[in-house]
Each structure stands twice: as structure tokens, then as C-alpha cells.
Structure 1
Amino acid sequence: MTGIITSRDNALFEAGIKLGALYHQFTGSPINLDTVQSMEVAISRSISVQPFVETITVNIDRDMIRSRLNQEFGYCELEGRMLDVQLKVVFEDCTAVVALEYDQVLEYPLMKIKHVRQK
């Protein structure tokens, strides 16, 4: 079936691509409590330069980092479950707000659409 691709379709596609890229680019990075803030800034700045990104907020769960620190070397790896990301993408007349959040029930970091608004 074919149809017209709308600005809403493109806004959601762009938002999903950015969350997926963020997740796969940064998970596994070495991190500790001294570097967590700079990692949040690095992720935000990296994604914010991409087309159609209006805002991004990145928070990394410090309690999870604390609980996973390797005692001998003093760091752990950034996991998807540690990330709480809110992203706003604007494509033409459409604004999509999406998130990457850890779902406690599913024990899994989920990407989801928070809301979509078309002018």
C-alpha cells in the first residue's frame, strides 16, 4: 500500500533515528561518578547538532552507576537502563517529543512517543 508521507511521519522517524543512534553510540562507554555529568553533556551536544533537533535533555542515573562501579578500577559501563532522555524534534509543521526511559516492570530501557503536535 502506498500513501503520502506526512511531516508527522518524518518527525517521528527522525526522532526514532536519533534515540537509536544515541543508544547504540554511547552504551558501553566507561563512566564513573566523576565523569557522569560530562557524559550527559557530550550525549546532549552530539545529538543536538543533528537535523531537526530542537531540544534534548539527558540524565544518567547516578545510583545505578554507584551500584555497578568496579571496586578495583573505579568505573562501570554506561547501560541503557541508566539513561533518561527527552528529545524534541521539529519537522516542518510537526513537533514530536520522544523519550528513552527505563521501564521498571519490563526491566528494559524503552523508547516511546510522548506526544506529537501538528500546527
Structure 2
Amino acid sequence: MTSDREQVVFEAGIKLGALYHQWVGTPISRVSAGSVETAIERAVILQPFVEEITVRFDRSLMTENRFGYSELSGMMFDVEIVTRVGFAYCRARLAPEQGYPLMKIVECHEIQNLSRDR
């Protein structure tokens, strides 16, 4: 059996991985970027264990093709997600680092002595 801490880290990782692979290649422009960011946030927040998510794209990497749009690439993502399982919290991030769209755990902790009414 896994601990809440192990599960919360797994949930953060699996959600970032799914988000990345689901959205890479999506047609996007500087005009539509905001609505796509919001759509991703609204979809992911519905999933179990997700407390918060922020999605931002680097619009400077959006170069239009001859049809007036770009394709969403991993290097455009700047995503932060907070997951919770029980009283364990994980903050994870997907963002470019040294030329690669890296997913990593930023912080993970458990809160003690809270009411179980949450």
C-alpha cells in the first residue's frame, strides 16, 4: 500500500504527463493562447486530487505558419499544479529547463493536526 505522500507525488506526475502529451501539437496562435490556457486549467482541475493548476504559454515561441497559426510545443509550457491526497500536498511544475520541457516536483509536504472536516 502506498502512503498519501507517495500517492500525491504520483498524481502530480501523471497529470503533468497526460497534460503534456494530450496538448502538444494543438494548433495555437497568440490570439487563441489565453483560451487554450483556460481550457487546460478547467479540464485538469476536474480530475481527482487536483487542488490548483496554472497554465501559461511562452507566446514568444509562437511563430505563425503560412496559415496563421503555430503548434503548441513542450517548450512553450509553464505549468504549475498542486495535488492533495489526505493531508499530503505536492507542488509540481512543467517548464523549460536547459532546453528541455522538464517536469519536476517543486515541493511536497504533509500537514499535521488538521481537522478531518476538510
Report what 2:114 is aligned to.
none
Matches within 5 A, 1:43-62: 43-62=40-59
Q: Displaced runs of 4+ in structure 1, greater than 3 A?
A: none
Aligned pair count reads 111
CA RMSD of aligned residues (A): 0.8
Report what 2:31 is aligned to.
34
Give the secondary-structure state (helix, strand or coil) at the position aligned to 1:50. Answer: coil
Report what 1:80 is aligned to.
74
Q: CA separation in 2, counterparts of 1:14 and 1:33?
A: 30
Report what 1:118 is aligned to.
110
Match of 2:11 among 14, 20, 24: 14
Q: Amino acid of the residue matched to residue 115 of structure 1? A: E
For each residue in 1:45-81, what CA deviation from the matched residue of structure 2 results, as whole angstroms up to 9, or x when unmatched? 111100010000000011111xx211x2110100010
Gaps of 5+ in 1: none
Q: CA separation in 2, counterparts of 1:24 and 1:88?
A: 19
For each residue in 1:3-39, what CA deviation from the matched residue of structure 2 results, as whole angstroms up to 9, or x when unmatched? x511000000011110011001101000001100000
Q: CA separation in 1, counterparts of 2:3 and 2:86?
A: 10
Q: CA separation in 2, counterparts of 1:75 and 1:64?
A: 12
Q: Amino acid of the residue matched to residue 86 of structure 1? A: E
Gaps of 5+ in 2: 112-118
TM superposition shift of 1:93: 1.2
Q: Amino acid of the residue matched to residue 15 of structure 1? A: A
